[in-house]
Chain A
Amino acid sequence: MLDLAISVGQTQTPEAVLFWVLAPLTVAAALGMLLVKKAVHSAILMASVMVNLAVFYIAQDALFLGIVQIVVYTGAVMMLFLFILMLVGVDSSDSLTETIPGLRPIAIVAAVGFGGLMVSLIGRATLGRNAIGLDAANSLGNVEGIAQLLFSKYVWPFEVVSALLITAALGAMVLAHHQSIQMRPTQRQLSTQRFRGKSLANAAGLPAPGVFARHNAVDVPALLPDGTPAANSINATLQARGDMLNSGTFELGKVDTSKGEEK
């Protein structure tokens, strides 16, 4: 920690200003990601952490990685996260009650221990020299330097990684593939069902929704000759959601006709 305090005193360069402005922001965003309740807010904070890291990469002469960080992480990965969040349900906020008793204090103690260990380790480790910097390595340009390494020394790992990418894409397709449990009935089967079923009540088709000349929306059940609503004239989904109106409210005499248009 002493080294950290000393290095705070040593900051003069523009990079130091950048670091001491952005690093607290990054840590705050990461902590916020941990503490906010809604998953969407976590995703936004994560995106800001990633953008900050991209700035750090560029500040450290890793131009290519900085750009890739923004394009791949903030652009693709975070959008994927948000996409899945929309799919799973945006307002499914995490209840922050702990299910395993004592998990949170243990986690915090372990984190403080681990973090303290790491920080003290970094503080104690010495290289015996100053940082070399990437000016020599980047003399041809950062992208060219990385390309040279990637396509000579690391060409085999590069190929393996491409196989991994293809495998991951295939795996995601297999996992996300939705197998329908039953066959979709054909037109022939539907017709047989209609005319050779137990009763011929629906042989001419189901009644259409709506009360004649009063309210023809799909959420109002049709009225049977005896005045009761016909439940099978409404889509089953609307019924299950409770999104249907009572057709009795549109009976003649109950609607105030003086206002002109109903509803």
Chain B
Amino acid sequence: MDAANYLYLSALLFTIGAVGVVVRRNAIVVFMCVELMLNAANLAFVTFSRINGDLNGQVVAFFTMVVAACEVVVGLAIIVTIYRSRRSASVDDASLLKR
């Protein structure tokens, strides 16, 4: 099978994740869409690692996972903090600087 199929899938998942970040309003769902984009990039890394026949791509994907875990921890803490003060997890409600 052509390994490029995985790249097509990766591009598709990345696009879906990007649309989710723009369209959805619940901060947690937006966050999950960011995770989807990171995962899609990881799939591309793993596929390129296979195409090129060395493991560098897999190591980079491994680093991406660690960074994504950090991002989730801090991001969710921010969401909880905002929810505590504003009683809402919607990204549209946190627009205090605009007014």
Determine whether the beta carbon of A34 is less than 8 Å from that of B83: no
Residue B78 at the chain A interface, CB threshold 8 Å: yes
Could you tell me which residues of chain B, from 1 to 51, have a CB within 8 Å of some CB in chain A? 1-9, 11-20, 22-26, 28-29, 31-33, 35-36, 39, 42-43, 46-47, 49-51
Q: Are B89 and A92 in contact (CB under 8 A)?
A: yes
Distance of A123 Cα from B59 Cα, bound (Å): 26
Residues in B whose Cβ lies below 8 Å from that of A132: 50-53
Contact partners of A245 in chain B: CB under 8 A: none
Residues facing B in A25-56 (CB within 8 A) are 26-27, 30-31, 33-34, 39, 42-43, 46, 49-50, 53, 56
Interface residues on B, range: 35 or more
| B65-77 interface bits toward A, Cβ cutoff 8 Å, 1 = contact, 0 = none | 1111111111011
Option from A26, A33, A60, A69 in Cβ contact (under 8 Å) with B33: A33
CA distance A89 to B15 in the complex (A): 28
| Residues B11 and A39 in contact, CB atoms below 8 Å apart | no
Task: Please tell me if the beta carbons of B55 and A149 are within 8 angstroms of each other in the complex.
Answer: yes
Secondary structure call for the A interface: helix
Q: Assess the B53–A34 pair: CB atoms within 8 A.
A: no
Q: Does A84 count as interface, using CB distance less than 8 angstroms?
A: yes
C-alpha gap A23/B43 in the complex (Å)? 12
Which of A157-165, A212-220, A222-230, A236-244 lies at the interface with chain B?
Answer: A157-165
25 A–B pairs (Cβ distance < 8 Å), ordered by A = A7-B2, A13-B1, A23-B9, A27-B13, A30-B36, A34-B19, A39-B28, A43-B28, A43-B32, A60-B46, A68-B62, A76-B69, A80-B73, A81-B28, A88-B83, A110-B22, A119-B12, A122-B7, A134-B50, A146-B59, A149-B56, A161-B67, A168-B71, A175-B74, A175-B80
- Chain A residues in the interface with B (C-beta under 8 A): 3-4, 7, 10-11, 13, 15-16, 19, 23, 26-27, 30-31, 33-34, 39, 42-43, 46, 49-50, 53, 56-57, 60-62, 64-65, 68-69, 72-73, 76-77, 80-81, 84-85, 87-89, 92, 94-95, 98-99, 103-104, 107-108, 110-111, 114-115, 118-119, 122-123, 127, 131-134, 136-138, 142, 145-146, 149-150, 153-154, 157, 161, 164-165, 167-169, 171-172, 175-176, 178
